[in-house]
Amino acid sequence: MWDGELLTALAAAYGLGVANCDPELPIVDERSLVAVILGHARARRGGERFVAVPDVIGTFSARHERVVTIGGTCVRAGLIMRELGVRSTTVLVAIDETFLSLYPADCDYLLSDREARLTPHLIVQLPAAGRVPVADGEIVIDRPNRLIFVNDPPQTLMELSPDLGQALEAAEVLLISGFNAMTEAGLLRARLDSLERAARSLPAGALIFYEDAGYHSDEIRAVALAGLTPLIDVHSMNEDELQVHLARDVDLLDPEDVLRAVADLHLLFPGPTLVIHTRHWALASGPLAPRLETALAGGIRAASARYLHGDGVTADDVARLESEAVPQAHRTVAEAIAASDPASIRCVPAYILHAENPTTIGLGDCFVGGLLAGLPVGEREGAR
């Protein structure tokens, strides 16, 4: 849990100034971890980073009040889909007793490596508002967000279950995510080849949906996307990933800037329909966009309900969200984006929500789960 007083004390103990608070620093000790956390807060963005020395995660987390949860995009997407009445099977690279104690017994999974054991990730939730004094100024936090810090050997290997191909024979949707923590390009190419072979078992017309992630290496990102782009039907990402791909900031409330960003993304990733989900709106652009409009709204509701209720979110929480919580500013931007190309762009406005202790981790995961659950059965099919 966020502890501003503790972060202030650690910043003072490590002699951090504003210039030291850099989100791109290598994380090799607790000082650099604190600097990266405050650097992300200073830059007003979330993200995921690799921790070179795994003991740093344990040292830092032991100082805080903490909650143990399970996650990863496919795990959380599957859990919210379960709440919404859609069954799924998750491919896990490793499990342990803690994971199994939190994973519902009626959720199916495939296990890739029965010997591997999980390494906990550190998730820091930035509050809606806060200030952390440093040596020569202060870091101001003005909106909630989340930071993820990992050193996870099973995830760097990403061994795929040999039963994956058989499991896909009756699948309507294949959701892909999780290659972002890999470190060896050659091994990643081998895993992508295995995934492509397994995907050949999908029924004709099944949808292949890729949810982007915070890659730890530019090289790994490039290799992953070069291999995935020809395979997938939908490439989905959040606002942080959007801006990383474009290497520039995007004004999410300026329809013209958003549309320039979408056009540039289509040049980077030709072929798949693009889905972009942000705190202001969610859009789809490409051949499948008209079929995703209702599902985009389902994704926004699921993510919003998680923001309010955390791990305990239920289908009733999703259903109770009221349209009045959508501000006119979001509606205006979404309508302008959608009107730019009625044949191939859909955009749905997002809520503005208020919670004393909002959950900021897993919102994109629940968006994906809500979107996929929101596809009518006959529409959970791609265009391949």
**Chain segment 313-343, per-residue pLDDT in tens:** 999 999 999 877 899 999 999 999 999 999 9
Paired strand residues for 210: 176, 235
Which two structure tokens, joined as six digits, stand for 255?
């329809």
Following CA atoms 283, 288, 291, 297 in sequence, which dihedral angle do they give, to the nearest 10 degrees?
Answer: -20
Burial class (CB in 10 A: 0-12, 13-18, 19+), 203: exposed
Q: Which CATH class is domain 4-68+120-150?
A: alpha beta
Q: Point out which residues pair with 148 in neighbouring strands.
A: 48, 123
- Residue 141's pLDDT band, with cuts at 50, 70 and 90, is very high
> 296: closest CA among 313, 273, 314?
273
CATH class of 75-118+153-379: alpha beta
Which of 86, 43, 48 is CA-nearest to residue 379?
Answer: 86
Predicted confidence (pLDDT) per residue in 49-91, tens digit? 999 998 999 899 999 888 889 999 999 999 999 999 999 999 9
Window from 155-164, 170-179, 249-258 with minimum mean pLDDT: 155-164
**With 60 as the cut, is the pLDDT of residue 382 above it?**
no
Helices (H), the chain: 4-13, 30-43, 55-61, 73-83, 97-102, 153-157, 164-167, 185-199, 218-228, 239-246, 255-268, 289-309, 315-320, 328-339, 363-374
CA 41 – CA 54 distance, rounded (Å) = 22
Contact 52, 151 (CB under 8 A): yes
Domain boundaries, the chain: 4-68+120-150, 75-118+153-379
